[in-house]
Amino acid sequence: MTVPNMYALVGVGLLCMGLYGLVMHSHLVRKILALNVSGSGVFLFLVALADQTPGPTPDPVPHAMVLTGIVVAVSATALALALACRIQQVNGTLRLSDNEPE
C-alpha cells in the first residue's frame, strides 16, 4: 500500500465514523461534530488524491476543491451551531426528539 493510498483509506474511515456518530448521537452538538469529522474525511481523501499524479508536482485542482469545501463546511457549521443555540433558547433542550409531527 502506498502512502497516499493510506491517507485516502483513513479519509474513507473518517467519513464512515462520522456517519455513525451522526446517526447514533441524539445531542445536537455531537451530531454537528460528527458531520465535521465526516467532512474532514472527505477532504483528506481529496488531498490524498492530489498526490497520486505520476509526475513530481501534485494536482492543484483537488487542493482548490478542498479549500472551497472547507469554507463551505465552516459556513454550514456556523449556521448549524447558531440554530442549535437558538433551539436551546426556545425549546430548552439540545436533543432532537424522535416524535413525528403531530
All three cell numbers of 29: 452538538
All three cell numbers of 23: 446517526
**Nearest-approach distance from CB 79 to another protein, in angstroms:** 5
Could you tell me if 44 and 14 are in contact, meaning their C-beta atoms sit under 8 angstroms apart? Answer: yes
- Binding status of residue 26 toward another protein by CB under 8 A: yes
Q: How many residues at the interface with another protein, by CB under 8 A?
A: 64
All three cell numbers of 63: 487542493
Rounded CA-CA distance 92/74 in Å is: 25
- Binding status of residue 2 toward another protein by CB under 8 A: no
Rounded CA-CA distance 82/98 in Å is: 21
- Binding status of residue 3 toward another protein by CB under 8 A: no
Interface residue list for another protein (CB under 8 A): 5, 8-9, 12-13, 15-17, 19-20, 22-28, 31-32, 35, 38-39, 42, 45-46, 49, 52-55, 57-65, 67-69, 71-72, 74-76, 78-87, 89-91, 96, 98, 101-102
